[in-house]
Amino acid sequence: MSEILNITNLTITPKSASNRLLVSNVSLTLSAGKTTCIVGESGSGKSLTALSVMGLLSPQLQAKGSVKFQDSELTGLDNRTMQNIRGRKIGMIFQEPMTSLNPVLTVGYQIGETLTAHFGLKGTALKDKIAALLTQVGIPAERANSYPDELSGGQRQRVMIAMSIACEPVLLIADEPTTALDVTVQAQILQLLDQLKTRMNMAMLFITHDFGVVADIADDVIVMFRGEIVETGTKKDVLNKPKHPYTKALLACVPDAEGKKQLKPIDYAWLKNGLNEKKVAA
Amino acid sequence: MSDIILQANNLVKTYTQRSGRFGFGSTQIRALDDVSVSLKTGSTLAVVGESGSGKSTLARCLLQLHPFDSGEVLFQGQDLAKLSGQALRDIRKHLQMVFQDPFASLNPRMRVGEIVGEGLLIHGLGTASEQKEKVYQMLERVGLEVADAQKYPHQFSGGQRQRIGIARALVLEPKVVVCDEPVSALDVSVQAQILLLLKALQQEMNLSYIFISHDLRVVRHIADEMVVMNQGKIVEHGKVVDIYNAPQQRYTQQLLNAIPGRKAA
């Protein structure tokens, strides 16, 4: 198994308050052809972790620790070097396809931008490649001349996917790519991402708060709570035999389609006491 | 229990959309196409469908927030469309709504106490001190504090804001509450809290809910009956248990199959 990304002891803090840990001591490894899901509530640090891999953290934040991508260290790289990796070797898909696409440019142009920037593709070669990419994500090639507002939400997300895989990246980061979509469209997009991952042997880092989505797409699962990783494991282990009290509590909040489960909200005070006791015991 | 509190018969609502070159043409879009639903007292009716299926339009038509082309809405046997002015206003306090986006549906310039108490003020229910007392009680009931009445919406998290929205709707002691995707903008952990709160309040206050949602897992937990909408039409309706166990229509089957995590489980 070839390791693609290796994060060790990543800690993210605001520059103005370095004792406030937004992400604390996160370590994880991603391998080719595997999907790793980061699950957690809002504010758990899952998006920040992903952004720090891309070097897209807000300038008000600082990251410590090491992010190793295919034997090269990404932390502390200057913007220019990072640009050669971003989009070329690491692709990213964002949550809201409407806000991440430029409304005044055709989708074909936006897909082509990366290809021109990284490979210098022009003219018919570029046009052919754009058409091929659109077909690959299930959109008719002539849609290249459409503007984002002429497409549905699902189609826009497909365009985003086409953009992110245009340069055949080794790592694909997807930050809640289906949260804004209808269930039926969500199922299609998940299937598409899974197929592309297998075909291109990419490592995929998939951020979500939906355990149903995790069950559909993940190989490995990382659970984050208040900036820390509380549990890692294979999908089977984490979903069926959760070890950490937080993972258990979070799973108890998820309604099931059979309606058998009694919903139980998280008791944060109880959880906090439990965690402190654990620390004392250790 | 089996008496019907809110009933809609053959609702039709068409929107006109500009189309063609320079928008000179127009197309008619049937947002509601002969839709009939009925809500039993004390129960929850879920309206399920994809975006554009007409579920929010239905909610708004039921509350007379949108005019509709034809059909009728009966609240306790009374045709709402025939009412106007004061009579309609009097009945509106029994018909309340909880909105989807807790960030957009609260006025950022009003204090929480004012937001929750505004209905009481408009309907002139009780003296000022009684209204204040009522607002405090309601805030505590939904899990907030009395001191929160002095704060502004931006000082709260998404889940807390949704609690404010619920307090605002329930302070008038309504009979029917229309919840338009009340938990879809929330984390699962917060979603569970709000769903349990809605269920508890329903029992205490004998509320009837119309629950609009695209999340079939949530519907399974909260609703007794459901209607499935597609392109302005109701394609299937019945008891939630029956539809989940044996969906009759292809479209409903597709929706159920698309529930994430079902295949793996």
Poorest-confidence range of B76-85, B143-152, B195-204? Answer: B76-85
**pLDDT score for B1:** 43
Distance separating alpha carbons of residues B107 and B114, to the nearest angstrom: 10
Q: Helix crossing, B188-205 with B158-170: angle to 10°?
A: 10
Residue B178, classified by CB atoms within 10 Å of its CB into exposed (0-12), middle (13-18) or buried (19+), is: buried
Q: Whole-prediction pTM value?
A: 0.85
Assign 3-state DSSP to chain B and report helix, strand, coil percentages, each to 5.
Answer: 40, 30, 30
A246 Cβ contact list (under 8 Å, min separation 6): A223, A225, A230, A231, A266, A271, A275
Whether chain A has a CB inside 8 Å of the CB on B20: the answer is: no
Query: Tokens 């399920």 appear where?
Result: B48
Considering just the CA atoms, what is the radius of gyration of chain B in Å? 19
Going by pLDDT thresholds of 50, 70 and 90, the confidence category of residue B262 is confident
pLDDT confidence of residue A256: 86
Q: B4-19 and B25-40: which strand pairing?
A: antiparallel
**Contact yes or no for B192 and A264 at CB 8 A:** yes
Put simply, the answer to whether A187 touches B255 (Cβ < 8 Å) is: no
Beta strand B176-180 with B208-213 is parallel
Enumerate residue ranges in chain A where pLDDT < 70.
1, 274-282
- Quote the radius of gyration of chain A (alpha carbons, Å): 20
- Measured in degrees and rounded to the nearest 5, phi and psi for residue A57 equal -65, 145
The total number of structural domains in chain A stands at: 1
pLDDT of residue B185: 79
Q: How many C-beta atoms surround the C-beta of residue A63 within 10 A?
A: 22
- Model pLDDT for residues B207-241, shown as the tens digit of each residue: 999 999 988 999 999 999 999 999 999 999 999 99
d(CA B262, CA A160): 26
Domain CATH for A252 = 3.40.50.300
- H-helix or E-strand spanning residue B79: strand B78-79
Fold annotation for B1-94+208-265: Rossmann fold (3.40.50)
Domain membership of residue A206 as a residue range: 3-281
**Per-residue tokens: A109:** 């142009």
Is B158 within 8 Å of A42 when comparing Cβ atoms?
Answer: yes
Judged against a pLDDT cut of 90, whether residue B103 lies above it is answered with no
Task: For A65-82, give the DSSP string.
Answer: EEEEETTEE-TT--HHHH
Residue B265 is predicted with a pLDDT of 47
Between helix B250-257 and helix A183-200 the angle, nearest 10°, is 50
Rounded to two decimals, the ipTM of the complex is 0.78
Residues of A in contact with B253 (CB under 8 A): none
Quote the minimal CA–CA distance from A182 to chain B in Å.
6
For chain B, give the percent of residues with pLDDT over 70: 98
Structural domain spans, chain B: 1-94+208-265
Which of B51, B101, B161, B189 is the best residue to mutate to test the A interface, defined by the most A CB atoms within 10 Å of its own CB? B189
